């Protein structure tokens, strides 16, 4: 079974900033997709902000097992309808991996219900990621820690809901720490946030980072058929109750009526 | 120290439905506020949909320790700006207690990041609430279970993020179960969802229900000063790093520049 | 890759009680193992209390991916050394599925750190299990609810730590509810508790129950190599620090000394 | 209402090591108790390993709201009966605060169900604690971070169950990180682990550390009456069922019989 994966990127810096386009001539999305396609069982394609419906029409999301999301400068340009469509796909079973500055992506904030803010410093400092959940599938094959010699700093407090699991914590040269790998469940969908990936450094060429992303795709993949009508709130008439009983008392709704939303 | 509490109600059924207005002549909000005001240390007032800014202008939220929310028929009439204002107040430390059909309130869905849907049946059946977290402050003084002879049924699956604590689970006469008392943290704010409270039954006159609400107000109260600028993502210049180091590598942002949002 | 599974059973009632031996002529362990062996990718064998080291010598545990545990009358006869061995295997990555009256098994209490108590009634009443985590791998292929016409009742409060995920909740004919499917992580190992399975009813012949067990084996399987020395607390000499610095201040331990335990 | 607090210390290094006794002439327990007694609403006394029943007879635990625990060299000398007694007190509602090397205390391992191991280095390096849960009661009045100029290093992976809340994370000069403030619930009792406190440094004289301990005592205090018979598993006879029904099927237990343990 192949895991159909889409790597989404706003693809903005790659167009305007020579530093970024030199590091990622195929775009951040291209580099990540290529690294995923090298993994047996994963089939990755890309989508970008500039495409119609940002490359994420409903029928493509319906066919997507896991979506990766990289955005930074253009969060505000992502249409709300697409955000809601992605959120519904997650609730119904699609996996979502949010990368680096995607902490401020509309879709991440939508799914977390919190500001998702943090402190930051762009100074090329050393980051060391420590594994806090040994043998979690997302860190399979990794050592207990690994380093990125140049990264942007993100510091606590990180405005997220308490993670279901904190997988990695970063140490920064300048003195900060950060929960860099964290998981949540939203409906039938699994969500993973992974911190590194500033666009002016070659982070997505790093082998350990690529291992994390491939592991995360496999972890986030829910092979079950998508949940249908994932926001419905069906009425169960008293005649259909699993344990028979006689209805009592006053009613607001006529039989079979739909509820308020 | 008095806990400044506001009971918000859409106050719609009370205006149009004689069954509801007979049970709650002062409105659901009036009944709840009166029961809270009988508790030493709690001072409760009310707010309704029909008031300017739904009775929740910024300066009132700034002074509110805990907000209770009852809505049903008019979720869609609540202005998005007020929803966002309430969410920010929660992140900065205000407690929020969401009641019954408020599972579909915009503000609850905003904070949960999930559909918050369920199954339902309005047939006046018996509900029995079981305590699953003995001696949790929210169930202080309650027996291990208590009954409501007539209630609307809400059934699983309930479309919420995994609760941080599941405090109560309901048994229904017709054969369903439901996580009826559940807690989450969102930023500095505590959130509690409490299931019972269909408007055609006298649920908020029930002594055990009133105990839960009073306990929940005390539990949700965070006495710390509100977090300021709760969505900010401040830049930490390299010169201000706690551990001195020399900046390296290419930069996207000029010094002191604000980040993307 | 085959998941090496061991079904452990105290195998006591099967020897002394005709009701039980009529339902499970091969023992509860035999019935469960047979149902698991019918699933591609799972290879199940059995172990019982009466065997040397209860059938769980170290080298067998080293080769076991997932262990299922059924016990009731003879919890006290399980040797503490075996309990500790099983706990270490879980920490290092073995999955563990605890069944029904195994809530009081030494190994479950050891891993939970709580009393694991509950209320109970043996009266052959109807149990209905509701799925609360749609599309969780453990409930793949199951409907939103299923029934067992005759089961022992277990009621809340259930003395467990808050589950990482509550997968199923039971409704009982006599008026109780129970968290019947719950998961935890302990080190690199995944733990699942599943409530049904009283020995005087044919529960393990039920198709939905067999589906849950097969799913749970697959979910609990951690393919990573076992963590070695899983209780060690290694000293990191200052000379080996990842960021060089000069040691300061008074010391309690000589260099390279082992820590206290 | 006064929070009756007991500070337990093995009190070993203070007797044999001049460095330690110079920093803590009244013992670590004496220094902590004095700092707690300076806080209105807290009344702290001490207990040590050397006293009969380690200073923790049943009637004293019955009167204790919150217990703090410092141990290091003598974990193995703590009697198992006292460990079990403390665990039962926690389950029934006593708060427990475990300090520093207490990560290896029998009572902490008993309540966690995991090895509680870590890496360590005694080199007087700088530790900086970052708050990850803003405005949590345990960090009330603290800045977003604070420093301890000389501390022992504890590094991840830390062998604990996923915390219910991670309150603080430490940055270490030598390059490690650690979850330094973490909470769990065990039955009706709240448990907090707080990392700093190596005996050769004056950590418990630090004002921020003292603030954390005082806050933690208030947070861990459960004012409800203790749960009685906290490990019992009561039988509910069919005649006493909340919803009347007729018992069916074969039975293992005679009516009113006690269950297996």
With beta carbons less than 8 A apart as the criterion, state whether B125 and B153 touch: yes
Report residue C71 CA to chain centroid gap.
11
d(CA B255, CA D52): 64
Q: Is the pLDDT of residue D259 over 80?
A: no
- Residue A61 phi/psi, 5-degree rounding, is -60, -40
Contact call for residues A122 and B237 (beta carbons, < 8 A): no
Question: Which of the residue ranges A139-143, A218-222, C211-215, C255-259 would you say has the lowest mean pLDDT?
Answer: C255-259
Q: How far apart are CA C72 and CA C198, in angstroms?
A: 9
C66: left (phi over 0), alpha (psi -120 to 50) or beta: beta
* Cα–Cα distance for residue pair D5/D23, rounded to 1 Å: 23
Task: Report the pLDDT value the prediction gives residue C170, as an integer from 0 to 100.
Answer: 98
Q: Which residue, among D86, D249, D253, D255, would best test binding to C if mutated, counting the most C CBs under 10 Å from its CB? A: D249
Question: Would you state the pLDDT for residue A16?
Answer: 87
Residue with tokens 């389950």: D91
Q: Residue A186, SS3?
A: strand
**Angstrom distance (rounded) from CA B236 to CA A123:** 10
Are residues A131 and A142 in contact, defined by beta-carbon separation less than 8 angstroms? yes
Strand partners, D166: D182
C-alpha closest to that of B160 among A192, A187, A161, A234: A187
Residues of A with Cβ-Cβ distance to D165 under 8 angstroms:
162
- Beta bridge partners, D152, equal none
Residues of C in contact with D74 (CB under 8 A): 260
> Cβ distance D210 to D217 under 8 Å?
no
Rounded CA separation C135/A149 (Å) = 40
d(Cα B45, Cα B65) in Å, to the nearest integer? 12
Cβ(C220)–Cβ(C98) under 8 Å? no
Nearest CB to D157; choose among A132, A156, A171: A132
Tell whether C246 is covered by a domain: no
Q: Residue B19 belongs to what H/E stretch?
A: helix B18-23
How many angstroms separate the CA atoms of A119 and D131, rounded? 13
Residue C237 forms part of a structural domain: no
Residue with tokens 């990392």: D195
Question: What's the pLDDT band for C221 if we cut at 50, 70, 90?
Answer: very high
CATH code at C61? 3.40.50.880
Looking at residue B155, what DSSP letter applies? E
What pLDDT was estimated at residue B185?
98
- Domain presence at residue C141: yes
Closest approach of B165 to chain D, Cα-based (Å) = 9
Question: Pairing state of beta strands C165-172 and C119-131?
Answer: antiparallel
Assess if residue B232 is contained within a domain: no
Residue A256 pLDDT: 62
| Domains identified in chain A, total number | 1
Whether residue D150 is predicted with pLDDT greater than 80 in this model: the reply is yes
Angle in degrees, 0-180, between the axes of helices C207-220 and C27-37, rounded to the nearest 10: 70
Q: By the 8 A CB rule, do B192 and B96 touch? A: yes
pLDDT at A117: 98
Q: Are strands B3-9 and B66-70 parallel, antiparallel or unpaired?
A: parallel
A227 touches A208 (CB < 8 A): no
Which tokens is D73 given? 């060299």
C112 to chain D, closest Cα gap in Å: 5
**Paired strand residues for B190:** B185
Mutate to test the interface with D, among B134, B135, B225 (most CBs of D within 10 A): B135
- Chain B residue numbers with beta carbons less than 8 Å from the beta carbon of D242 are 128, 145
From first to last of its 261 residues, chain B has per-residue pLDDT tens of 799 999 999 999 999 899 999 999 999 999 999 999 999 999 999 999 999 999 999 999 999 999 999 999 999 999 999 999 999 999 999 999 999 999 999 999 999 999 999 999 999 999 999 999 999 999 999 999 999 999 999 999 999 999 999 999 999 999 999 999 999 999 999 999 999 999 999 999 999 999 999 999 999 999 999 999 999 999 999 999 999 999 998 888 766 667 777
D70 contacts in C (CB within 8 Å)? Answer: none
Q: How many residues can be counted in chain C? A: 261
Structure tokens at A162: 């308490």
- Give the number of beta-carbon pairs within 8 Å between C and D: 199
User: Cβ distance B54 to B6 under 8 Å?
Assistant: no
CB-based contact, D156 to chain C, within 8 Å: no
Q: B25: which 2 tokens?
A: 């002549």
Closest approach of chain A CAs to the CA of B95, in angstroms? Answer: 14
Q: With contact defined as beta carbons under 8 Å apart, do B210 and B35 qualify?
A: yes
| DSSP collapsed to 3 states, D61-84 | HHCCCEEEEECCCCHHHCCHHHHH
| Tokens of residue D249, six digits | 């099927």
Digit-coded pLDDT (tens) for D243-254 = 999 999 888 876
State the nearest Cα–Cα gap between C165 and chain A, in angstroms.
Answer: 9
Interface of C with D in 29-68 (CB under 8 A): none
Q: At what angle do helices A207-220 and A27-37 cross, to 10 degrees?
A: 70
Q: Residue B137 gets which letter from DSSP?
A: G
Token pair for A217? 């795709």
Which member of A121, A122, A231 has the closest CB to residue B252? A122
**In this predicted model, what pLDDT tens digit does every residue of C89-148 receive, in sequence order?**
999 999 999 999 999 999 999 999 999 999 999 999 999 999 999 999 999 999 999 999
Query: Cα separations (Å) of C204 from B6, C26, C129, C179, C211?
Result: 52, 12, 15, 19, 10
Please check whether residue C252 lies inside any domain of the structure: no
Q: What is the pTM (predicted TM-score) of this model?
A: 0.97
Q: What pLDDT score was predicted for residue B208?
A: 98
**Distance separating alpha carbons of residues B46 and C152, to the nearest angstrom:** 47
Does A186 contact chain C (CB < 8 Å)? no
Q: Annotate A135-163 with DSSP letters as a single string.
A: T-GGGTT--SEEEEEEEEEEESPP-SPPP
Helix (H, G, I), strand (E, B) or coil at A225: coil
**Cα nearest neighbour of A163 on chain B:** B164
Rounded Cα gap, residues A55 and A49, in angstroms = 7
Distance, in Å, from the CA atom of C226 to the CA atom of B246, rounded to the nearest integer, reads 41
Residue A113, helix vs strand vs coil: coil
Distance from CA of D46 to the nearest CA of B (A): 27
Closest CA to B120 of C172, A251, A233, C129: A233
Residue D154 located in a structural domain:
no
For residue C15, give both structure tokens: 């020897």
Rounded Cα distance between A171 and A184, Å, is 22
Three-state DSSP class for residue D127 = strand
Examine residue B132 and state whether it is found in any structural domain, yes or no.
no
Q: Give the pLDDT score at A255.
A: 63
Those residues of chain A that have pLDDT short of 70 are 254-257
Residues of A in contact with B153 (CB under 8 A): 236
- C-alpha distances in angstroms, A160 versus B126, B192, C66, C187? 38, 18, 34, 24
Count CB neighbours of A207 within 10 A: 9
Which residues on chain C are in Cβ contact (under 8 Å) with D200? 249-252
Distance in Å, alpha carbon of A255 to nearest chain C alpha carbon: 23
Please give the average per-residue pLDDT across D161-168, as a whole number.
98
For residue D167, give the nearest of D195, D204, D188, D189 by alpha carbon.
D195
Q: Choose among A128, A66, A74: nearest CA to A98.
A: A66
Residue C252's pLDDT band (cuts 50, 70, 90) = confident
Does the pLDDT value for residue D109 go beyond 70? yes
To probe the interface with B, which of A76, A178, A250 has the most B CB atoms within 10 Å? A250
Tokens 């902590």 — which residue? D32
Range(s) of the domain holding residue C56: 3-220
Phi, psi for A78 (deg, rounded to 5) = -80, 125
């Amino acid at each position: 079974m192949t895991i159909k994966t889409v790597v989404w990127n706003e693809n903005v810096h790659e167009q305007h900033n020579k530093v970024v386009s030199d590091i990622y001539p195929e775009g951040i999305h291209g580099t990540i997709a290529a690294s995923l396609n090298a993994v047996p069982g994963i089939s990755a394609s890309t989508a970008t902000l500039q495409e119609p419906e940002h490359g994420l029409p409903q029928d493509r999301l319906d066919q997507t097992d896991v979506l990766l999301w990289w955005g930074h400068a253009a969060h505000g340009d992502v249409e709300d309808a697409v955000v809601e469509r992605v959120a519904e796909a997650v609730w119904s079973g699609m996996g979502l991996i949010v990368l680096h500055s995607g902490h401020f992506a509309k879709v991440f904030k939508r799914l977390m219900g919190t500001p998702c803010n943090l402190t930051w410093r762009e100074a090329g400092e050393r980051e060391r990621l420590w594994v806090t959940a040994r043998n979690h599938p997302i860190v399979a094959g990794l050592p207990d820690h690994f380093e990125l010699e140049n990264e942007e700093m993100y510091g606590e407090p990180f405005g997220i809901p308490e993670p279901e699991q904190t997988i990695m914590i970063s140490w920064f040269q300048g003195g900060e720490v950060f929960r860099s790998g964290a998981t949540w469940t939203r409906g039938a969908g699994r969500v993973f946030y992974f911190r590194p990936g500033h666009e002016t450094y070659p982070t997505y060429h790093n082998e350990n980072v690529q291992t994390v992303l491939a592991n995360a795709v496999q972890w986030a993949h829910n092979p079950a058929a998508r949940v249908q009508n994932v926001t419905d709130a069906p009425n169960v008439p008293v005649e259909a109750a699993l344990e028979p009983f006689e209805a009592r008392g006053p009613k607001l709704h006529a039989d079979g009526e739909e509820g308020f939303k």
